[in-house]
Amino acid sequence: MRIDARLARSSAAAPFFDRRLSIAGSPRWAPSLRAQLIAGFVVIDLLAALVCAAVVIAKARRAAVVEMEGSMRLAETLVAETVRANEPHTPSDVLLAALAQQLGFVRHVRFSIYDEEGRAVGGLRARDDVVEREPAPDWFMALVAPSPERRAVPIIAHRHKIGVAQIIGAPQDEVAEVWEDTTALATIALVANLLVIATLYVAFGRILEPLTRLASGFDDLEQGEFSTRIKAPGTREFAEIVNRFNHLAETLGEANAENRRLNQRLVGLQDEERRAIALDLHDEFGPCFFGVSACLRALKADLPADDARAMEQLKAMEEILDRMRIANRALLHSLRPMAMGHVPLKEIMTLLVADFSRLNPQISMDLDAQGLAPSYGEAIDLTVYRCVQESLTNAIRHSGAAAVRIRLRETGASGARELSLVVEDEGRGVGRDAHEGFGLKGMRERIGALGGSWSIGERPGGGALLRMSLPLDARRAAPAQSRAAAGAGRTYAS
């Protein structure tokens, strides 16, 4: 069938939401607003962490430089004072050995004592050889530690030089101390930020909840649920948006109800016009056909039997008159089935399917209509008739199917009764390039005017499938008006 495969869940809403909306530039994988806000906070937090890390490293490096400069000066002073204190009563070799022992306990520096010959005295001694804390990583050392510095201080005793004290800067302990402070601060900041992110996640969820309810409400509007209302949230800005949404839903509901009334009136006028045209054709052309036929019979009786040419012309006129009668009868049947209102609906549908089967013997047509009332009113009976007529026409023209099945049922209990129609074939199905023709538009308008719903799509296993349902209860036939009057409908609240 060359028919539109798009679902019209509520045909009454066709002028507003004939199909599901597709918003360009809004992919399904787009992150939520909550995720974007939290991601923005995390990015800002990371930038702040980088700035803080740069400031900490810069200040730590400056402090290490100052600390090392002070340690080097202290080491120089300590060498001079130690020599001065031990010089009067200590031999030179003993003095050098004492220096090697005493100077090993100064922070951030290492000492090497050499005699006049350049030989090391007592080996290398340094306080940094004693492990006070875990060393900092090499990359942190490279960022914070100042450039290594060496100073040679001559050792003067008994008025002459007896050796040299080599002072070497050793900032490892200072950097390790900075590393400990930095890691502790970073751990506290990380835990605090995780707590803040968790709090923001919960808070954003509650703050943005009205947007989720708005999305659900718009989805209901798209499906034709114009009675949907959303409870106003506590946030002033969102409350204004929600109030406008509720006003929009109310306006759409009123417009939809008015549109349905207009569709009902339009369909009624079309049926009245068809009925009037059918009556005119029957009342005007029927007597004319009868009169012409009577005149032809009288003329045929008066003509000589041996006038072959005249008899041939009369015969041709009778054939033309028969074709005009057949065409007029078909036109009358197309405008309005003559049995409508006089014969039960099941028999009318049986006659319709039989006519199609007679004209298309290559297609098997099966009608299953059980448990039907004699009539459901002219509007519903005529709508069902036209839908089956259009569906069979589409199947014959476009599907290439060998079999078509029609199932007509009355379903539901009292107060929720529906007339359900299913037409399916095993043909080519619904193509992607299918478009809605005048016949399907007429079906949609008729079904929508009666408050029904319909869908056309692919049949499981191949082929096309049409489903239609018409409410048989007056209260359900106009749901928009009833819900508006009763104040009922779906409400989204916190």
Q: For residue range 11-58, list pLDDT tens digits in order.
A: 333 333 343 444 444 555 677 888 888 899 999 989 999 998 899 888
313 against 281, higher pLDDT? 313
The chain-wide mean pLDDT, for the chain, equals 77
Q: Residue 437 has what pLDDT?
A: 63
The closest of 109, 48, 44, 53 to 76, measured between CA atoms, is 109
More confident site: 15 or 408: 408
pLDDT at position 361, please?
A: 86
Per-residue pLDDT tens digits for 80-129:
777 777 766 667 677 777 776 666 656 677 777 777 777 777 654 444 44
Q: How confident is the model over 175-186, as pLDDT tens digits?
A: 888 888 888 988
Reported pTM: 0.47
The predicted structure's pLDDT at residue 51: 92
**For the chain, what percent of residues have pLDDT higher than 70?**
80
**Across 150-161, average pLDDT:** 78
Average pLDDT estimate for 300-313 = 80
Picking from 183, 177, 181, the residue whose alpha carbon sits closest to that of residue 68 is 177
Least reliable range by pLDDT among 282-286, 348-352, 443-447: 282-286
pLDDT of residue 476 exceeding 60: no
The amino acid that residue 230 corresponds to is: I
pLDDT band with cut points at 50, 70 and 90 for residue 338 = low
Instruction: Inform me whether the pLDDT recorded for 330 exceeds 60.
Output: yes
Evaluated on CA atoms 212, 213, 218, 222, the torsion sign reads positive
Return d(Cα 350, Cα 341) in angstroms, integer. Answer: 15
The pLDDT, as a whole number, for residue 133 is 66
**Which pLDDT band holds residue 199 (cuts at 50, 70, 90)?**
very high
Assign 3-class secondary structure to the chain. CCCCCCCECCHHHCCCCCCCCCCCCCCCCCCCHHHHHHHHHHHHHHHHHHHHHHHHHHHHHHHHHHHHHHHHHHHHHHHHHHHHHHCCCCCHHHHHHHHHHHHHHCCCEEEEEEECCCCECCCCEEHHHCCCCCCCCHHHHHHHCCCCCEEEEEEEECCEEEEEEEEEECCHHHHHHHHHHHHHHHHHHHHHHHHHHHHHHHHHHHHCHHHHHHHHHHHHHHCCCCCCEECCCCCHHHHHHHHHHHHHHHHHHHHHHHHHHHHHHHHHHHHHHHHHHHHHHHHHHHHHHHHHHHHHHHHHHHCCCCCHHHHHHHHHHHHHHHHHHHHHHHHHHHHCCCCCCCCCHHHHHHHHHHHHHHHCCCCEEEEEEECCCCCCCHHHHHHHHHHHHHHHHHHHHHHCCCEEEEEEEEECCCCCCEEEEEEEECCCCCCCCCCCCHHHHHHHHHHHHCCCEEEEEECCCCCEEEEEEEECCHHHHCHHHHHHHHCCCCEECC
| Residues 110 and 149 sit within 8 Å (Cβ to Cβ) | no
pLDDT band at 227 (very low <50, low <70, confident <90, very high): confident
479-493 confidence digits (pLDDT tens):
433 333 333 344 545
Residue 137 has pLDDT above 50, yes or no: yes
Binned at pLDDT 50, 70 and 90, residue 196 comes out as: very high
pLDDT tier, 407 (very low <50, low <70, confident <90, very high otherwise)? very high
Q: Can you give the pLDDT at residue 489? A: 46
Residue bearing the bigger pLDDT, 261 or 339: 261
CA 379 to chain centre: 39
Model confidence at 365: pLDDT above 50: yes
Amino acid 292: pLDDT = 82
User: Domains in the chain, ordered, with CATH?
Assistant: 33-189 (no CATH), 265-492 (3.30.565.10)
How far are the Cα atoms of 82, 153, 172, 189, 361 from residue 186, in angstroms, in the given order? Answer: 43, 41, 21, 5, 85
pLDDT for 415 equals 66
| pLDDT for 464 beyond 90 | no
Res 369: pLDDT: 87
